[in-house]
Amino acid sequence: MVRIPAGEFLMGTDAENSFANERPAHLVRVAAFWMDEHEVTNAEFARFVAATGYVTAAEQPVDWEQLRAQLPPGTPRPGPEALAPGALVFTPPAQAVSLDDVAAWWRWVPGASWRHPEGPASTLRGREQHPVVQVSWTDAAAYARWAGKRLPTEAEWEYAARGGLAGKRFAWGNTPPDDRHPQANIWQGDFPYRNTRTDGFTGTAPVKSFAPNGYGLYDMAGNVWEWCADWYRADTHVTLARLGSCENPHGPQASLDPDEPATPKRVTKGGSFLCHVSYCESYRPSARRGSDPAAGLSHVGFRCVRP
């Protein structure tokens, strides 16, 4: 783990080329803490499972009652094959598609899990040092408890990601990503159908494949999105900005995403190997989104902290 010193920073951004949920910037003070220098790997998660017998969400049948609460009233119960254990897997289309339709590049794959990230035919052989994926927020929190740690708050995560570079757009400064000298594992080419992989990777990369930030942390931009402890609200920064300044914020008491109000969500940060300037450019420290805490995805992982 790496010690992150106490400090004060502007969380969020006022930049015009940002998303509304990142604004406005507001003053936050964070106490010192320790953070994993890299994302939790497949090998590390395997040790947790071997020690505890833990079964992840993706390895269990879908809970119909939980799913029904997020669907329009009267939605019929799907067949057993649709409720079988599995997870969402990125599947690139063969040609350009509308960037408004995420269903064009995501599909539900029965049998996909942390052990089989792309489905039953995939394995972790050779990927022991890649970040674990297809883990839900609940799975990540369980690992953290076992390890004597916890998930970072959104404020801790963003402060650490900035690496001491106040006011910079990216974790490495203000220079846009350079395909010739890649700073992070992100998408090169045309999203989502053509990846030139000039950074050397189509999917996840082994942890520590790119230079660390100013605090000595690896992959705080790209590779995989990372779970945070906080509930997600699109207007969190607006609420905190009204306070003037705040100390060690722990996020809202409950979640609300206006686009999916029936689905409670937790914050994810950092972007992933799927991020591209044409679509989300979420490999910026201020970028944030909400994700279903019960779901696994092939581009979401985590790291832990402790006081």
For each of the chain's 307 residues, which pLDDT tens digit applies? 999 999 999 999 999 999 999 999 999 999 999 999 999 999 999 999 999 999 999 999 877 777 666 566 777 887 777 788 999 999 999 999 999 999 999 998 999 999 999 999 999 999 999 999 999 999 999 999 999 999 999 999 999 999 999 889 999 999 999 989 999 999 999 999 999 999 999 999 999 999 999 999 999 999 999 999 999 999 999 999 998 889 999 999 999 999 999 899 999 999 999 999 999 999 999 999 999 999 989 999 999 999 9
Residue with tokens 């395909």: 179
Which pTM value belongs to this model?
0.94
| Structure-token pair, residue 260 | 């999916």
Position 73 scores a pLDDT of 75
Containing 64, the helix (H) or strand (E) segment is helix 64-68
Span 38-80, pLDDT tens digits: 999 999 999 999 999 999 999 998 777 776 665 667 778 877 7
192 preceded by cis ω (within 30°)? yes
Question: CA 224, 228, 229 angle in degrees (round to 5)?
Answer: 155
Do 258 and 235 contact (CB within 8 A), yes or no? no
- Give domain 1-307's CATH superfamily: paralog of FGE (formylglycine-generating enzyme) (3.90.1580.10)
Position 202 scores a pLDDT of 96
Question: CA 215, 220, 223 angle in degrees (round to 5)?
Answer: 145
Position 71 scores a pLDDT of 62
The contacts of residue 270 (CB under 8 Å, 6+ apart) are 157, 161, 219, 220, 221, 222, 223, 224, 225, 226, 282, 283, 287
Amino acid identity for residue 207 in this structure: V
Position 78 scores a pLDDT of 75
Position 72 scores a pLDDT of 66
CA 50/CA 18 separation, integer angstroms: 42
Residue with tokens 């914020």: 249
What secondary structure does DSSP assign to 94-153, as a single string? Answer: SS---TT-GGGTEEEEET-SSSSTTSTT---TT-TTSBP-S--HHHHHHHHHHTT-BPPP
Nearest to 270 by CA among 10, 3, 35, 39: 39
The CB-side HSE value for 67 (13 A sphere, CA atoms) comes to: 12
Amino acid identity for residue 78 in this structure: P
Where do the domains of the chain lie?
1-307
Position 81 scores a pLDDT of 74
Position 21 scores a pLDDT of 98
| Structure-token pair, residue 123 | 């394995």
